[in-house]
């Protein structure tokens, strides 16, 4: 059964804007961020998603754990970060349409933190806001049936992947299929679904924007609970996604260095021969003079081999 929501005017407008930004990012080759930027965004994603749930470790400590360095802090917080790092590093292993993969992912995320990680809950759960019960999840006996229906919805190719990712996120939090880790899993699984829409979402730190709007995030969940459908939450999440994409366009175009551009181009072309014109096609936002400077820098550093004179030069990245 299709989860209840409406395609509001706001949703239509946001979907169009998101699609436009994704296209612009792809055309500018910003969907292939440098290794340094990918790492930075992954750290922000992990830190923010855990901070929303009360983890006290800093970004610096998350970075240290990512580098396998020793960190002093609560054992539980450290284990949460280690598990989440492993989960995001293994993202390629999961199919967003598979319940079994969802259970496997939860087993990684919550290993050593709860009894029976990777299993649907067998008891009732509720969400407290202060001392008041703000959400009573469906009874445990209904969880498998509700999750089957939710994954059947994900398999419906007539629905837009962008909207499905947001609807899934809300319905997942509503069902609350696990005793713990539901917030982290919901955000991770939406990232997985968004990545199927465009590669840019693998390293886009949507979670950091959610953390900045944490109150609005929970309010939109509550609003959808009251309204009986996910429309309000879908509007909220699409707005967050759009802002994250706008941030990519605002910052990466300004902050990319010659080294960043060269690294990105190397990932794209490998060891094949190329010309300055090829390099310019991949970086439409720079001038021919800037392209020449980038390539001269690469040649001087021994990163690129050059044959021919300036006008007819052919380049190739060194195999090192």
Instruction: Report residue 300 as tokens.
Output: 């001087």
How much is the average pLDDT of 188-195?
94
What is the predicted pLDDT for the residue at 77?
A: 96
172 φ, ψ to 5°?
-60, -45
How much is the average pLDDT of 254-265?
76
SS3 of 137, please? coil
What is the predicted pLDDT for the residue at 259?
A: 85
What is the predicted pLDDT for the residue at 127?
A: 78
Q: How far is CA 210 from the centre of its chain?
A: 12
Give the CATH fold of the 9-255 domain.
Answer: Fic-like fold (1.10.3290)
For the cut 70, the answer to whether the pLDDT of residue 254 exceeds it is: no
Q: How many residues does the chain have?
A: 320
What is the predicted pLDDT for the residue at 320?
A: 66
* 258-317: CATH number: 1.10.10
Instruction: Report residue 23 as tokens.
Output: 């296209």
What is the predicted pLDDT for the residue at 46?
A: 93
SS3 of 20, please? helix
Say whether pTM exceeds 0.85: no
Q: Where are the domains of the chain?
A: 9-255, 258-317
User: Contact at 8 Å (CB) between 120 and 139?
Assistant: no
For residue range 174-185, list pLDDT tens digits in order: 999 999 999 999
Cα–Cα nearest to 307, from 276, 268, 266: 276
- 316 forms beta bridges with 305
Average pLDDT, the chain: 89
For residue range 141-162, list pLDDT tens digits in order: 999 999 999 999 999 888 899 9
For residue range 53-70, list pLDDT tens digits in order: 999 999 999 999 999 999
For the cut 60, the answer to whether the pLDDT of residue 31 exceeds it is: no
């Amino acid at each position: 059964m299709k989860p209840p929501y409406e395609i509001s005017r706001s949703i239509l407008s946001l979907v169009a804007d998101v699609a436009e930004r994704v296209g612009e990012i792809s055309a500018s080759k910003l969907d292939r961020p440098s290794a340094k930027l990918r790492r930075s965004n992954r750290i922000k994603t992990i830190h923010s998603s855990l901070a929303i749930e009360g983890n006290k470790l800093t970004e610096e400590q998350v970075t240290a754990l990512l580098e396998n360095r020793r960190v002093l802090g609560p054992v539980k917080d450290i284990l949460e970060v280690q598990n989440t790092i492993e989960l995001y590093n293994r993202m390629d292993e999961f199919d967003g349409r598979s319940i079994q993969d969802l259970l496997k992912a939860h087993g990684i995320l919550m290993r050593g933190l709860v009894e029976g990680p990777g299993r649907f809950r067998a008891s009732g759960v509720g969400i407290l806001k202060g001392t008041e019960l703000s959400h009573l999840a469906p009874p445990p006996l209904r969880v498998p049936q509700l999750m089957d229906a939710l994954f059947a919805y994900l398999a419906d190719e007539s629905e837009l992947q962008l909207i499905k990712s947001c609807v899934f996120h809300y319905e997942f939090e509503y069902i609350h299929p696990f005793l713990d880790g539901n917030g982290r899993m919901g955000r991770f699984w939406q990232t997985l679904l968004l990545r199927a829409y465009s590669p840019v979402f693998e390293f886009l730190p949507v979670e950091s924007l959610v953390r900045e709007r944490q109150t609005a995030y929970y309010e939109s969940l509550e609003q959808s609970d009251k309204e009986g459908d996910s429309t309000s939450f879908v509007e909220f999440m699409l707005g967050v996604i759009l802002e994250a994409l706008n941030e990519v366009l605002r910052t990466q175009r300004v902050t990319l260095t010659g080294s960043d551009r060269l690294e990105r181009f190397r990932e794209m072309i490998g060891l094949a021969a190329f010309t300055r014109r090829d390099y310019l096609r991949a970086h439409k936002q720079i001038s021919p003079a800037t392209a020449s400077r980038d390539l001269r820098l690469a040649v001087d550093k021994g990163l690129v081999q050059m044959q021919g004179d300036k006008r007819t030069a052919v380049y190739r990245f060194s195999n090192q």
